[in-house]
């Protein structure tokens, strides 16, 4: 049996977006499941829009998601180069072959002529396709046109009769009338191939066995099949397997775009999503298991993935579900891993320096994060949840001051608690909680009447981690110092 070979072939005209990442993931999952080869190919023939920055962004996005490729840029392989602009001689060779066999021809129409052609077709309510006027030019006519300085593209001579059909894992049997297709361009005047041509040459020369891509490419498939056959690669294309994945829509049912929120993988990284959570969520966009399982370990996902379970209906991208899933992954993370992933966000917030952290400081941060692990939905939540623990100083939230510290008698209670805290032989979560409960009972108050002032006096806010556990973590000296500062600040007013 021929070894399974799949490719992810992005165009480097922007960042790795959600749709591209989902396509890469499904190719990667299938390759890993069947022991195949996953290839990264950069389709950089859009000369005006392709950039090195976009190439780097694609690399970073895939590496962050863990979608490592077996062949491609930075890895090499026997079928390179893996940038299309480094393969121009190959495309010219096969374009010449098509011209020699009269399956393609030179077209000298100018952009203005093509636009006029399109306008006339639309006014006549016909499909706005090329009318084939250069299809039957004689050698003499071509030479005359070239003498005027006109440059030619190479067009494919699409059959005007019959159908082109193929079987698709997702769509089933698909058929297109050839008469509805146009004579599409294979090579531009610059000698650079179009997508329709380059993908055929590359898939054949790289021995691709399965093409998994978005269903916006469904209508490209008959054109590409016709080119395969015109080049004499019938056996290859007859064995080529296709799977056209459903489109990804926003919650409002329109195509996913920036108005729905972040669309690039790196944006999700910056927002504080875990790569494994995003990967898990992407796997559910257009695919499901029989039992509608939601959370997967990566190996479990590989074993259960199948192209047959990919659905035809558009996938809806639900940011709230992704956020929920990210929180689930954070809650089950090992605290050491979660801490390491949180450090860049703490640095960005100015809560820790760029200098290497001592073991004691790292352990303290780890303990702080552990207190709030159940509440964290995004890594970017971490700084605002634990900032008061990491800062030497802190600020009082005005609403908390009004609600708690300005209540009559509160500062007097706070002064008494300071005195009792100072006398505690052991400053633990258990001992401080018991002291506060006993004090409340002694004063005939509810426990909250003591807990809230202590919290605001030590953190500046009414919400936060477990009060007595963070007091223990903060330590006796710092806890009392903060309470004294709070008393002296507000007793004056």
Contact between 480 and 422 (Cβ < 8 Å)? yes
Which residues are within 8 A (CB) of 89 and not within 5 positions of it... i.e. 6 or more apart?
none
Task: Measure the CA–CA gap between 435 and 447, rounded to whole angstroms.
Answer: 11
Cβ burial 293-330 (10 Å sphere, 16+ → b, else e): eeebeeeebbebbebeebeeebbebbeeebbebbbbbb
Q: Tell me how crowded residue 473 is: count the other CB atoms within 10 A of its CB.
A: 19
Question: What letter does residue 314 receive in the DSSP assignment?
Answer: P
Contact between 267 and 260 (Cβ < 8 Å)? no
Contact between 79 and 205 (Cβ < 8 Å)? yes
Query: Cα-Cα-Cα-Cα dihedral of 336, 337, 343, 345, to 10°?
Result: -140
Query: Cα-Cα-Cα-Cα dihedral of 459, 460, 466, 471, to 10°?
Result: 30
Known active-site residue 334: no
Task: Measure the CA–CA gap between 158 and 230, rounded to whole angstroms.
Answer: 10
Of 75, 93, 258, 384, which is the active-site residue?
Answer: 258
Contact between 310 and 169 (Cβ < 8 Å)? yes
Give Cα 321 to chain centroid, integer Å. 15
Look-up: residue for tokens 């953190």?
459
Going by C-alpha positions, the residue among 407, 358, 422, 379 that lies closest to residue 272 is 379
Task: Measure the CA–CA gap between 239 and 230, rounded to whole angstroms.
Answer: 16
Strands 172-177 and 163-168: antiparallel
Task: Measure the CA–CA gap between 10 and 309, rounded to whole angstroms.
Answer: 24
Contacts 24+ apart (CB under 8 A), 329-333: 329/274, 329/276, 329/277, 329/280, 330/274, 330/277, 330/373, 330/376, 330/377, 330/378, 330/379, 331/373, 331/374, 331/376, 333/274, 333/373
Contact between 106 and 134 (Cβ < 8 Å)? yes
Which residues are within 8 A (CB) of 192 and not within 5 positions of it... i.e. 6 or more apart?
45, 47, 85, 88
Going by C-alpha positions, the residue among 221, 224, 216, 267 that lies closest to residue 246 is 216
The pair phi, psi for residue 322, each rounded to 5°, is: -60, -40
Contact between 281 and 22 (Cβ < 8 Å)? no
What residues are annotated to the active site? 258
């Amino acid at each position: 049996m021929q070894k399974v070979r799949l490719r992810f072939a992005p165009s480097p005209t922007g960042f790795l977006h959600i749709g591209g990442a989902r396509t890469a993931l499904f190719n990667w999952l299938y390759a890993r499941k069947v022991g195949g080869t996953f290839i990264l190919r950069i389709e950089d023939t859009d000369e005006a829009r392709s950039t090195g920055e976009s190439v780097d962004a694609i690399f970073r996005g895939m590496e962050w998601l863990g979608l490592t490729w077996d062949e491609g840029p930075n890895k090499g392989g026997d079928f390179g180069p893996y940038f299309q602009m480094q393969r121009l001689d190959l495309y010219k060779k096969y374009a010449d072959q098509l011209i020699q066999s009269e399956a393609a021809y030179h077209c000298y129409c100018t952009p203005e002529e093509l636009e006029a052609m399109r306008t006339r077709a639309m006014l006549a309510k016909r499909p706005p396709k090329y009318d084939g006027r250069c299809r039957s030019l004689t050698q003499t006519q071509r030479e005359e046109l070239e003498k005027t300085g006109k440059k030619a593209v190479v067009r494919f001579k699409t059959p005007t009769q019959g159908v082109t059909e193929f079987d698709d894992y997702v769509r089933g049997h698909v058929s297109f009338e050839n008469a509805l297709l146009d004579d599409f361009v294979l090579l531009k005047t610059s000698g650079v191939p179009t997508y329709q041509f380059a993908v055929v040459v590359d898939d054949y020369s790289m021995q691709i066995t399965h093409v998994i891509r978005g269903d916006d490419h469904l209508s490209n498939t008959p054109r590409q099949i016709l080119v395969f056959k015109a080049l004499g690669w019938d056996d290859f294309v007859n064995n080529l397997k296709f799977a056209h994945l459903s489109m990804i829509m926003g919650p409002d049912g329109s195509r996913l775009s920036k108005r729905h929120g972040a669309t690039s993988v790196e944006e999700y990284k910056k927002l504080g999503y875990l790569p494994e959570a995003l990967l898990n969520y992407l796997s559910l966009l257009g695919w499901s298991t029989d039992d509608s399982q939601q959370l997967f370990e990566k190996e479990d996902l590989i074993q259960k993935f199948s192209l047959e379970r990919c659905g035809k209906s558009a996938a809806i991208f639900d940011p709230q579900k992704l956020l929920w899933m990210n929180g689930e992954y954070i809650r089950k993370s090992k605290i050491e891993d979660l801490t390491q992933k949180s450090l860049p966000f703490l640095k960005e917030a100015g809560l820790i320096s760029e200098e290497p952290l001592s073991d004691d400081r790292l352990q303290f941060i780890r303990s702080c994060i552990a207190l709030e692990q159940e509440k964290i939905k995004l890594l970017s939540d971490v700084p605002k949840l634990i900032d008061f623990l990491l800062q030497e100083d802190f600020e009082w939230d005005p609403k908390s001051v009004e609600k708690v510290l300005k209540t009559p008698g509160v500062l007097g209670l706070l002064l008494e608690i300071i005195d009792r805290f100072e006398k505690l032989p052991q400053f633990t979560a258990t001992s401080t909680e018991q002291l506060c409960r006993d004090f409340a009972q002694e004063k005939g108050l509810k426990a909250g009447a003591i807990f809230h002032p202590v919290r605001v006096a030590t953190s500046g806010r009414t919400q936060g981690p477990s009060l007595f556990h963070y007091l223990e973590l903060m330590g006796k000296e710092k806890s009392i110092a903060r309470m004294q500062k709070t008393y002296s600040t507000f007793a004056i007013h």
